[in-house]
Amino acid sequence: MRDPSSLKQQFLKKWILGLQVCGSGKQNMSILERKEAIKLSADIALASARDGRTRWSRATIANASKHDDNKVLVQHLLAPESESLKKSSIGLVVRDNKRVRCKKILKWSCCVKRVRKSVSQVVLAKSIAKRMVNRKTRVLKSLVPGGEFMDDICLIEETLDYIESLRAQVDVMRTLAKATELVNGK
């Protein structure tokens, strides 16, 4: 596992930056807007803490950049690494997705539907298990950002990294929430 505390430090710095950017913009935001802003800046900060080395982080940044209102935020957060990271992440995501899509199209075109004859119990059980695994893999792919375009091995690696980052994010947010609670409570 990579150094968790440094990850948290990085994440927090960027997140606070992002929050400042958000907060300085509008006044009188509704609670939902605020929540979205918080979450968004947290996600982008988390993704940028990975410096574009993992696919899911690139995917989040790319997704965030798609919406115009978020672009400003993204730019600010990635300012140290500048536009290059954002562009590279978008470019990489597009390239990866294209490649995977082409592969899939090839596969589907070559695939032949097999007639299922009477199969033994073992084979049946195996196929059921396979189908379950496939179903769950699809669900996981929908959870991990940018996961639909990854193959199994990649997916598991990305999931590992994503879980680690999510944990750090949750920890930092929780302590921040408690701290603000306490400070406000006085």
Partner 1 sequence: MINRALLPAGGGENMLHCTDMTVLERQRARIKWQQEQQQQFQLQQQEISYFTELADVFHQAGVHEGGLSEVVTRSVKPDPGLVDNGWNNDHVVGYGVGLPYNNGLGFELNYGAISRTSSCPPEAVAAVAEATVKGSESVVSDMISSGAGRESSKKRKVDKVQNNSKAVAEEDTRDKRIKGCAEQGESKITEKNNNKNSRNNNTNKNSNSNKENSDETSKDNSKVSEVQKPDYIHVRARRGQATDSHSLAERVRREKISERMKYLQDLVPGCDKITGKAGMLDEIINYVQSLQRQVEFLSMKLAAANPRLDFNVDNLFAKEQAFPACSINFPTIGMSSDMTNPAYLQFNPAQQQLVACCGLDMGIDPPDMALKRTTSAPVSIPETFLDSSCFTQTHPPPTWDADLQNLYNVAFDQGRQTSFQTQPFTGSIEASNLKMEM
| Pick 94 or 128: Cβ nearer partner 1 | 128
H, E, C per residue of 88-136:
HHHHHHHHHHHHHHHHHHHHHHHCCCCCCCCCCHHHHHHHHHHHHHHHH
CA 42 – CA 78 distance, rounded (Å) = 13
DSSP one-letter code for 115: P
| Pick 88 or 157: Cβ nearer partner 1 | 157
CA 11 – CA 3 distance, rounded (Å) = 12
Q: Least distance from C-beta 112 to partner 1, angstroms? A: 16
Q: Least distance from C-beta 99 to partner 1, angstroms? A: 18
| Pick 54 or 169: Cβ nearer partner 1 | 169
Query: Residues, the chain, total?
Result: 186
Q: Least distance from C-beta 161 to partner 1, angstroms? A: 10
| Pick 112 or 183: Cβ nearer partner 1 | 183
* Max CA separation in the chain (angstroms): 73
Is the CB of residue 101 less than 8 Å from the CB of residue 149? yes
| Pick 21 or 93: Cβ nearer partner 1 | 21
Q: Least distance from C-beta 181 to partner 1, angstroms? A: 6
Q: Least distance from C-beta 91 to partner 1, angstroms? A: 26
| Residues contributing to the site for partner 1 (CB under 8 A) | 1, 5, 8-9, 12-13, 16, 19-20, 22-23, 27, 29, 31-32, 34-35, 37-39, 42, 129, 132-133, 136-137, 139-140, 143-144, 152-153, 156-157, 159-160, 162-164, 166-167, 169-184, 186
Q: Which residue in 55, 37, 42, 6 sits closest to 162, CA to CA?
A: 55
